[in-house]
Structure 1
Amino acid sequence: MKALYVLSDVLYVLMYKLARYRRRVVWRNLKNSFPEKTEKELLAIERKFYHYICDYMLESLKMLKMPVDELHQRMKFHNTEQYLEMIDKYGGIVVMMPHYANFEWTIGMGMYMNPEDIPMQVYKTLRNPYVDKLFQNIRSRFGGYNVPKHDTAREVIRARHAGKKLALGLVADQSPNLQSLHFWTTFLNQETSFMDGGERIARMMNYPVFYCELQKEKRGYCEATFVLMTEHPKQTAEGEITEMFVRHVEQTILREPAYWFWSHKRWKHKQPLK
């Protein structure tokens, strides 16, 4: 890991100062999200973000060979008892999380689940086939089952018919496509659309919904706490679960802004005029 972080520091110079990777996107996102912050404060967040994103890329590659005992040391999970209890009680749960901190390392939760249960991950195919294959290998190391997002409902129903219990993980804070602009809310001072697929699956299957609260402790160490948002999704109003998720993500970002994916073109869509 020490060697990787030396490489990450070099990569930071190349990405941030020389290639200037998505600097305009990052700066616009930060400035619009934190209008109360000074330029000096925003620059500090920006630089810390680029250090983080370089670490993230190399830490993700490390997952290809990271020993199980090392992952246990570097990624701590909290409230796993309730997580496992709800899987056993309802046959499945939905876990929603943001692109934050070491979110790729949450695949290690599969090591704590019953061997016959399925840690299922909704997966968006990447444009580069080699990178796509690489991340599929990383995300399946500890028994993870990658499901293309358009096949999610079919795979969940198939698992239930086969008598399988599962935890369905979704990284659910990215911008939806034009056909999925169903849910709008205010997020980081901006009108923002969120995908509501996690909520729809939870309501359809009556699966309890957890938020995965991620906190980066220091370089190479992260903690994940599973926060139960609702045990009875069918008793919630339409959009209520997605709104709860949005508020959790916002609080996570406000606690330490640098560790979110600011390089995403998160606000590329505008809400249609009513």
Structure 2
Amino acid sequence: MNFLIKILYLISKLPLKILYIFSDIMFFLNFYIVGYRKNVITQNLKNSFPEKSDAEITEIRKKFYRNFSDYLVETIKSFGISENEAKVRMQHINQDLFHQAKAEGKNIILMAGHVFNWEWMNALATITPQKNSHPVYRKVNSSFWEDQMKIVRNKFGNEALEANEVILNIFRNKNDGESIYMFVADQTPHVAHVNYGLNFLNQKTPAFIGYDKLATRMDLIFIYCEMKKVKRGFYQVNYHRIYSDGEKFVKNEVVRKFHQLLENTIKKNPDNYLWSHRKWKYQDSIKTYDGE
């Protein structure tokens, strides 16, 4: 394992223009030869965009494979990327929201989707006024890769928290405007925890609702992260505060609003979303459905 770690870090020090050569090779293999999860990707796209022709679906899938290949090498680059380069490659817009939260004395729940490249948001910790920044991660089957991803997410002064621990951590700590918790909030819940679903991208969709407990019980600030790929190797994230309709969030309100915002983002650039995940495989297990 030590040898593998050394190789990984050596590769991460290569310039991105070199790493993108590997990305181009992966794209060619995936799209023209291997067809990685081709059927899953195609079906997800057809279900999400029933109005699009087969030719349009194929074009989106092709662009997705390019973006996905870039994401893989960019994730490797995360191990060796410097703070300065991370700031150049990920532009953060509407940073005033973080100063407002500090002035209001309220902690922040950041909510991103699986839009490329969510892994490069970590350098945000170096430019916000909050003292504590906690990327939230989920355990994976490989302890090796889990350890490596924790290292990546702990960079730049972050302190990563496992998803099963984060809710309790938030409840126990002071709500004083000094902490940010970074969720990739469109995770697919385990089949045993599929309690709530909604209409998302024209489909009955199981939704992760852990953060909803926070919205209804604590006076926190919820911020949506709108990701955009500007060009190869350069991204932009625009931050939008999510407000409740009444004095406080009601049950599942923040979940619905997050998915509405994410759907709008995906529709603008559908090739930039992680279509290879089997996000809709537990549709029939939904206990409470909130959709048309």
**TM-score, with normalisation over the residues of structure 2?**
0.87
Q: Which amino acid aligns with 2:272?
A: Y
2:186–2:208 Cα contact (<8 Å) kept: yes
Q: Which amino acid aligns with 2:150?
A: Q
Distance 1:233-1:62 versus aligned 2 partners, 3 A rule: farther
Map 1:1-274; keep pairs closer than 5 Å.
1-114=16-129, 117-160=131-174, 165-230=178-243, 235-271=248-284, 272=286
**TM-score, with normalisation over the residues of structure 1?**
0.93
CA distance in 1 between partners of 2:262 and 2:244 (Å)? 19
CA distance in 2 between partners of 1:171 and 1:208 (Å)? 16
1:101–1:215 Cα contact (<8 Å) kept: yes
CA distance in 2 between partners of 1:231 and 1:145 (Å)? 29
Distance 1:232-1:108 versus aligned 2 partners, 3 A rule: farther
Partner SS state of residue 164, structure 2: helix
Q: What is the deviation of 1:273?
A: 7.7
CA distance in 2 between partners of 1:179 and 1:63 (Å)? 33
Q: Which amino acid aligns with 2:274?
A: F
RMSD: 2.0
Q: Which amino acid aligns with 2:112?
A: M
Q: What is the deviation of 1:159?
A: 3.1
1:214–1:224 Cα contact (<8 Å) kept: yes
Using the aligned pairs only, state the percent identity: 27
2:95–2:239 Cα contact (<8 Å) kept: yes
- Per-residue CA deviations over 1:142-198 (Å, capped at 9, x if unaligned) read 11211111111222234328x782111110112111233232211111111211112
CA distance in 1 between partners of 2:43 and 2:139 (Å)? 27
1:96–1:198 Cα contact (<8 Å) kept: no
1:202–1:233 Cα contact (<8 Å) kept: no
Number of residue pairs matched by the alignment: 272
Instruction: Please list every run of 5 or more consecutive structure 1 residues that lacks an aligned counterpart in the other structure.
Output: none
| More off after superposition, 81-90 vs 219-228 | 81-90
Partner SS state of residue 235, structure 1: coil
Instruction: Please list every run of 5 or more consecutive structure 2 residues that lacks an aligned counterpart in the other structure.
Output: 1-15
Q: What is the deviation of 1:205?
A: 2.6
1:184–1:191 Cα contact (<8 Å) kept: yes
Partner SS state of residue 44, structure 1: helix
- Per-residue CA deviations over 1:19-43 (Å, capped at 9, x if unaligned) read 3211111111011111111111000
